[in-house]
Structure 1
Amino acid sequence: MLLQSASEFVQENPISVLVTSFILAFASHMYYEVFINPLAKYPGPTFAAASRIPQLYHTFKGDLNNWVNGLHVRYGNVVRVAPDELSYASGEAWKGIYGHAAAGKKVTEKDPRFYGPSFNGSPDIIRAGGPDHSRFRRNFSHAFSDRALREQQSLICQYVDMLVEKLNEEIKDNPKAHINMVRMLNLTTFDIMGDLTFGASLDLLAGTGNTNWVSAVFVSMKTNALRRMARYWPWTAPIAQRLIPNALKQQSISHYQASQGRVDKRIDGSHTMQKPDIWGIVMNQKEDLRLSRTEMYANSQVFMVAGTETTATALSGLLYYLLMNPAKMDIIVKEIRDTFEKDADIEMRALEHMTYLNACIEEALRIYPPVPVGLPRITPDEGLLVCGEHIPGKIALSVNQWSTFHNPENFKRPEEFIPERWIGDEYASDNKAAFQPFSFGPRNCLGKNLAYHEMRLILAKVLYNFELSLLPESIGWEKQKTFFLWEKNDLMVQLKRRY
Structure 2
Amino acid sequence: MALSLDAQHKVHVAGSACSKRNSAYEAVNYNGHANLDTIMNHKDHRWRRQIWDKAFSTKSLEAYELYAREVVYEWLEKLESLQGQPINTSLYSALIPFDNMGRMGFSVNFGSIKAGKENPMLHYLEVTLGTLAKLGMIWWPIALLQAFGSSNDHINFQKLACQMVDKRREVATDEHEDIMKYFLQDYNSKEPKAMHHMDVIYSDAQAVMTGGTDTIAAVLSFAFYYMARDSTVRDKLRSELEPLFGRTVSGEFTNLDLGEAEAPYLNAVINETMRVDNPTCANGPRMTPPEGLEIDGVFIPGETLLFVPIYSMHTSAKYFKQPNSFIPERWTTRPDLVIDKRAYHPFLLGPYSCVGRRLAIIVLRFTIAYTVWNYDFKFAPGEDGTSIHRDMINQAILKAGPLQCVFNKRA
Residues 169, 112 of structure 1: CA spacing in aligned structure 2 closer, same or farther, 3 A cutoff?
A: farther
**CA contact 1:118–1:124 (8 Å) conserved in 2:** yes
Q: Report matched runs for 1:69-468 at 5 Å.
A: 87-101=1-15, 107-115=17-25, 116-130=27-41, 131-171=43-83, 175=84, 177-207=85-115, 211-228=119-136, 231=139, 249-270=151-172, 273-285=174-186, 286=189, 287-291=191-195, 292-340=197-245, 344-352=251-259, 353-427=262-336, 429-468=338-377
- For residue 210 of structure 1, report the CA deviation from its aligned partner: 7.2
Q: CA deviation at 1:98?
A: 0.2
User: Alpha-carbon deviations, 1:342-362, whole Å to 9, x = none?
Assistant: 983211101013010001110
What SS class does the counterpart of residue 257 from structure 2 fall into?
helix
Paired residue total: 398
Q: Match for residue 498 of structure 1?
A: 410
Deviations 1:111-163 (A, max 9, x none): 44233322543111010122321121011101112332023221221111111
Shift of 1:373: 1.5
Larger relative contact order (CA 8 Å, sep ≥ 6):
2
TM-score normalised over the length of structure 2: 0.89
Deviation string 1:230-271 (CA, Å, 9 cap, x unpaired) is 53689x968x999xxx9x93222211111100101112323x
Q: How far has the Cα of 1:401 moved from its partner?
A: 1.6
SS at match of 2:307: strand
Tell me, yes or no, if the aligned pair for 1:108 and 1:380 is still in contact at 8 Å.
Answer: yes
Distance 1:314 1:425, change over 3 A: closer
SS of residue paired to 1:372:
coil
- In structure 1, C-alpha distance between the alignment counterparts of 2:400 and 2:144, rounded to whole Å: 28
Residue 275 of structure 1 and its aligned partner are, at CA, apart by 1.8
- AA matched with 2:357: K
Q: 2 CA distance for matches of 1:216 and 1:405?
A: 30
CA distance in structure 1 between the aligned counterparts of 2:298 and 2:178, rounded to whole angstroms:
45
Q: Is the CA contact 1:146–1:449 (under 8 Å) kept in the aligned structure 2?
A: no
Residues 91, 433 of structure 1: 8 Å contact kept: yes
Q: Secondary structure at the match of 1:225?
A: helix
Identity of aligned residues (%): 25
Query: Structure 1 residue 366: deviation in Å?
Result: 0.3
Structure exhibiting the larger radius of gyration computed from Cα positions: 1
Q: Distance in 2 between matches of 1:369 and 1:398?
A: 15
Amino acid across the alignment from 2:193: L
* Contact 1:372/1:401 (<8 A) preserved: yes
Unaligned runs of 5+ in 1: 1-86
TM-score for the superposition, normalised by structure 1: 0.74
SS at match of 1:335: helix
CA distance in 1: counterparts of 2:59 and 2:358, whole angstroms: 10
The superposition leaves residues 406-451 of structure 1 with CA deviations (integer Å, 9 ceiling, x where unpaired) of 1111100011110010113542652111011111111111011111
**Range moving further from structure 2, 185-194 or 318-327:** 318-327
Distance 1:304 1:453, change over 3 A: same
In structure 2, C-alpha distance between the alignment counterparts of 1:429 and 1:461, rounded to whole Å: 29
- SS of match in other structure, 2:398: strand
Flag as ranges the 4+ runs of structure 1 deviating above 6 A. none
Contact 2:315-2:323 within 8 A present in 1 as well = yes
In the alignment, the residues of structure 1 paired with residue 118 and residue 336 of structure 2 have an alpha-carbon distance, to the nearest angstrom, of: 46
Deviation larger for 305-314 or 396-405: 396-405
How far, CA to CA, are the matches of 1:309 and 1:93 in structure 2?
Answer: 27
Q: Is the Cα contact below 8 Å between 1:203 and 1:209 reproduced in 2?
A: no
Amino acid at match of 1:138: Q
Quote the Cα distance in structure 2 between the aligned partners of 1:298 and 1:241. Answer: 17
Tell me how large the CA RMSD over aligned residues is: 2.7
Contact residue 101 and residue 208 of structure 2 kept, 8 A: yes
